[in-house]
Amino acid sequence: MIEFKLDLKSGVPFHRQIVDQIRYGIASDRLMPGEQLPTVRELAVHLSVNPNTVRKAYSELEILGILDTQQGTGTFVSDQQVEIGEAEKERMLQQICDELVARGNQYGFTLKEIVTHMQRRLENG
């Protein structure tokens, strides 16, 4: 199971963040076919969002065949493979980097300081 988290400052709609996290979770094998997802209510409470936000994300994924909702049983990951294209990966990486730099700038860090710190983390494993 993945740990759902929302970035309140990213500007990306919450339902889109939920959709992306589920898609990436499936593509990276952190979510497996047949795995049950939290109920709409549980996830809404966990993320402190309106249940309609979670419902919208689940519905979008169900239309794409990525999720399967069984009345009275729950919402499950379907057997459908999820492929993340290179353009989408690049877009996501760009978004992550933009957010990192923006947050760093809020605390007065330069891009050079951020990169140096990331390189040290990589070297120290």
Q: Do 44 and 96 lie in a common domain? A: no
Q: Indicate the burial class of 26 (C-beta count within 10 angstroms; 0-12, 13-18, 19 or more).
A: buried
Q: Would you say residue 4 lies in a domain?
A: no
- The CATH number given to whatever domain includes residue 32 is 1.10.10.10
Q: Is residue 9 one of the residues assigned to a domain?
A: no
The pTM assigned to this predicted structure is 0.77
Q: How is residue 10 written in tokens?
A: 């990213």
The reply to whether 18 and 45 lie within a common domain is yes
Same domain, 106 and 66: no
Domain residues for 91? 86-123
Q: Decide if 6 is inside a domain.
A: no
Mutual angle of helices 111-123 and 86-106, in 10-degree steps: 110
Does the pLDDT of residue 38 top 90, yes or no? yes
SS3 72: coil
For the segment 91-124, what is each residue's pLDDT rounded down to a tens digit?
889 988 988 998 899 999 999 999 999 999 999 8
**7 domain-assigned:** no
Does residue 116 sit in the same domain as residue 61? no
User: Where do runs of H (alpha helix) occur along 37-110?
Assistant: 40-47, 51-63, 86-106
For the cut 80, the answer to whether the pLDDT of residue 13 exceeds it is: yes
Query: Structurally, how many domains does the chain consist of?
Result: 2
Q: Are residues 51 and 99 in the same domain?
A: no
Task: Indicate if 26 and 58 belong to the same structural domain.
Answer: yes
Backbone dihedral angles phi then psi of residue 43, each to the nearest 5 degrees = -70, -40
